[in-house]
A and B are shown apart, each in its own frame.
Chain A
Amino acid sequence: MTAHIEIQGLTKEFGPYRAVNGLTFSVAKGEVLGFLGPNGAGKSTTMRMITGYLTPTSGSVRVLGHDIVEERLAAQQHIGYLPEGAPAYGDMTAGEFLRFGAAARGLSREAAEKAVAGAAAKTQLASVLDRPIETLSKGFKRRVGLAQAILHDPPVLIMDEPTDGLDPNQKFAVRRLIESMGRDKAIIISTHILEEVEAVCTRALIIDRGRIVADGRPAELMARSSFHNAVTIEVPGDRAGEAKASVLSLHGVAEVRERRLKSGAVRLTAMPARGTDQLVEAVGAVVRARGIATSALFAEEGRLDEVFRTLTTSDALATSPGAADASEGAP
């Protein structure tokens, strides 16, 4: 079976500015793809092309086999979309807005009521369905947008920063929801929050200046971090020097980073030399042999933020006004 979303050489130009540059990837049913990248990398523009809001300059998008340009309506029928900032008609009540979304997708009155009730339950909106959207808090507004996207139980779900503006409890609930829906849908979410990728995504795609710079499972990406397999220990401040020297003497340790904590203890991180994969036992043993009490000892999986920073450079560019404007300049 082919993937739910198939993207081939997707490119978008705004005048001379190339916002998205030849993206090729596909998302199968059961996958939750995390779209990462600095501001202005082309995440939103890509999502807008997948959902048919923007027409690609070149390349193609197929959603369940339907080309988004040639058979736009057929493709859109299978897509649920939460645009950036979760726009909604402020003068409507949340319930009216959802019923509008259902009717616009051709659901019968009865099916629409059912769909609205279902989506409202999943996003915990039932208590505010009768309130005008403009009077709702940011968290509720975001969830109204989310409910609108999942209303018709679409096989393909595209969400631009779904947890932006939510409090930690709401974030947790939305992640749980995405996870549970991920089993039988193809989902793409964009986010700035790297822990979110680790929490809900089965796959992460890092894009920078319109190009894919990394594509893999979150664990694979973290393995590219220099912190992958690094070992961190915490030792009392007065014995830090001794501990550091002994760890550094170990075979396979390239470097030891030191950080003094507020409690007075010192946190040492042993960075592995290339090709070293098991350090945690050796580090534990050498410190214990010296009789130094360790209050923490663990191996790092790798740090996604570090991978992100090494792979993406365009946020430096985005500080120049021209680049920032071009990225936000989509109509």
Chain B
Amino acid sequence: MMRIWPVFRRELVGYFATPLAYVFIVIFLFAMGASTFYLGNFYEGRTANLERFFLFHPWLYLFLMPALAMRLWAEEKKTGTIEILMTLPIPAWASVMGKFLAAWAFSGIALALTFPMWITVNILGEPDNGVILASYIGSFFMAGGYLAIGSCLSAATNNQVIAFVVSIVVCFLFTVSGLPLVLQVAQAVLPTPVVSAIASFSFLTRFEAIAEGVIDLRDVIYFASLILLWLGINVALLERARAG
């Protein structure tokens, strides 16, 4: 357990050692604000809640989280530092966990920096802060899901661009699998239990449930197990590389 810490620390400091962290946070906050005010027409809604803010999170994460995760392993493979990392007395799962937690913590920092939105609605009206807190937690877990996918796919290549693009595609599939558009097509060719299984895998469906202010244990378990599944594949990919 304690071997996770050095990897976590190195990775998190690594984000801030380059302009990447600052560029990312600026773009993250700008995209969050722009989508809320222009696409979501925040003011026209005239309701003191953050529904229109959280509405766009899955779509923004779709691009932002793979951008954050793409370097995790691909860069190590490209520069050869993976040979250092894999010959240190650290279990592969601890390295995977350390890197993932660093990326997740970084996304948490970026998410926390959207706090002016929360202050704004509290000035404008009397929102249900419980719902807002639940939405933030839900959003954070969803970011973790996207990051786990991105981390795993980053370990499958030594090219960051490939990791980025493939991650977006996979994240997209996980996002849209609950949309009526997808489900109607699926319904035409697949039996109902399979269709509802596909729907239940959707980030959108899960996130909407949490964003309504109800933290259902099942939704949390869904995101947690999804994260562990992808990180498990991530570890397996590294062990496979060791076998050559």
* Chain A contacts for B241, CB-based, 8 A: 331
Q: Are A92 and B14 in contact (CB under 8 A)?
A: yes
Query: B6, A100: Cβ atoms under 8 Å?
Result: yes
Q: For residue A13, which residues in chain B have a CB less than 8 angstroms away from its CB? A: 244
Give the complex CA separation of A51 and B86 in angstroms: 9
B6, B18, B86, B90: the one within 8 Å of A53 (CB)? B86
State whether B244 touches A14 (Cβ < 8 A): yes
Q: How far is the CA of A25 from the CA of B18 in the complex (A)?
A: 45
1/0 per position for B1-15, CB-CB distance to A under 8 A? 011011101100110
Report whether A55 and B244 are in contact in the complex, using a CB–CB cutoff of 8 Å: yes
Stretch among A71-79, A188-196, A309-317 lining the B interface: A71-79
Q: Which residue in chain B gives the minimum CB-CB distance to A50?
A: B87
A114 at the interface (CB under 8 A from B): no
In the complex, what's the smallest C-beta–C-beta distance from B25 to chain A, in angstroms? Answer: 17
Q: Is B116 an interface residue (CB 8 A)?
A: no
Question: Is there an interface contact between A76 and B14, defined as CB atoms closer than 8 Å?
Answer: no
Q: Are B10 and A85 in contact (CB under 8 A)?
A: no
**For window 98-139 of chain A, which residues contact chain B by CB distance below 8 Å?**
100-101, 103-106, 132
Interchain CB contact (< 8 A) of B88 among A48, A104, A330: A104
Which residues of the other chain, B, contact A106 by a CB distance below 8 angstroms? 2-3, 89
B243 and A55 contacting across the interface, CB-CB below 8 Å: yes
> Which of B55-63, B75-83, B100-108, B179-187 lies on the face that meets chain A?
B75-83
Q: Which residues of B contact A104 (CB under 8 A)?
A: 3, 6-7, 88-90
Q: Which residues of B sit under 8 angstroms from A83, Cβ to Cβ?
A: 80, 83-84, 87
Q: A21 at interface (Cβ–Cβ under 8 A)?
A: no
The verdict on A53 contacting B89 (CB below 8 Å), with A89-B14, A92-B14, A331-B244 known, is no
In the bound complex, how far is the Cα of B90 from the Cα of A79, in angstroms? Answer: 13
Q: Are B14 and A53 in contact (CB under 8 A)?
A: no
For residue A241, CB closer than 8 A to chain B, the reply is no
Q: Is A88 touching B3 in the complex (CB atoms < 8 A)?
A: no
Please tell me if the beta carbons of A103 and B242 are within 8 angstroms of each other in the complex: no
Q: Contact: B87 with A103, CB < 8 Å?
A: no
- The verdict on B91 contacting chain A, using a C-beta distance below 8 Å, is yes
Indicate which residue in B5, B81, B244 contacts A54 across the interface (CB closer than 8 Å). Answer: B244
Q: Is residue B17 contacting chain A, with contact meaning CB distance below 8 A?
A: yes
- Set of chain B residues within 8 Å of A90, measured between Cβ atoms: 79
Q: Is the CB of A100 within 8 A of B89?
A: no
Distance, CA A60 to CA B129, complexed state (A): 61
Interchain CB contact under 8 A, B242 and A54? yes
Task: Kindly state the interface size class of chain B when it binds its partner.
Answer: 20 to 34
- Name the distance in Å between A80's Cβ and chain B's nearest Cβ: 9
A-B contacts at CB below 8 angstroms, number: 84
Considering only CB atoms, which chain A residue lies closest to B79 in the complex? A87
Q: Which of chain B's residues 209-244 have a Cβ closer than 8 Å to chain A? A: 241-244
Q: Is A225 an interface residue (CB 8 A)?
A: no
Q: Is the CB of B244 within 8 A of A330?
A: yes
User: Does residue A148 face the partner (Cβ distance < 8 Å to B)?
Assistant: yes
Which residue of A is nearest B81, CB measured? A87
Give the interface centre of B7, B14, B87 by most chain A CB atoms within 10 Å.
B87
Q: Is the CB of B244 within 8 A of A89?
A: no
Whether A96 sits at the interface, judged by CB under 8 Å, is yes
Contact B87 A52 (CB under 8 A): yes
Residues of A within 8 A of B83 (CB): 48, 53, 81, 83, 87
Given contacts A52-B87, A53-B87, A55-B243, contact A85 B80 (CB under 8 A): yes
Interface members, chain A 265-315 (any B CB < 8 Å): none
Q: Is A12 an interface residue (CB 8 A)?
A: yes
User: At the interface, yes or no: A70 with Cβ under 8 Å from chain B?
Assistant: no
CA distance A213 to B90 in the complex (A): 35
Q: Does any Cβ of B come within 8 Å of A167's Cβ?
A: no
Looking at the complex, which one of A72, A73, A91 makes contact with B14 (CB distance below 8 Å)?
A91
Asked whether B87 lies within 8 Å of A101 as measured between CB atoms, the reply is: no
Chain A residues whose CB sits within 8 angstroms of the CB of B18 once the complex forms: 91
- B68 CB → nearest A CB, Å: 16
Chain A 160-198 residues near chain B, CB threshold 8 A: none
Q: Complex Cα distance A101/B3, Å?
A: 11
Q: List 28 A-B contacts (CB under 8 A).
A: A52-B86, A52-B242, A53-B83, A53-B86, A53-B242, A55-B242, A55-B244, A73-B90, A74-B89, A77-B89, A81-B84, A83-B80, A83-B87, A84-B80, A85-B80, A87-B81, A87-B83, A91-B18, A92-B10, A103-B5, A103-B9, A104-B6, A105-B88, A106-B3, A132-B17, A148-B84, A331-B77, A331-B241
Identify the 4 closest CB pairs spanning chains A and B, nearest first. A87-B80, A103-B6, A76-B89, A83-B83
Query: Told that A92-B13, A101-B84 touch, could you supply 10 new A-B pairs with CB distance under 8 A?
Result: A52-B87, A55-B243, A57-B244, A79-B87, A81-B83, A81-B87, A85-B80, A104-B6, A104-B88, A104-B90
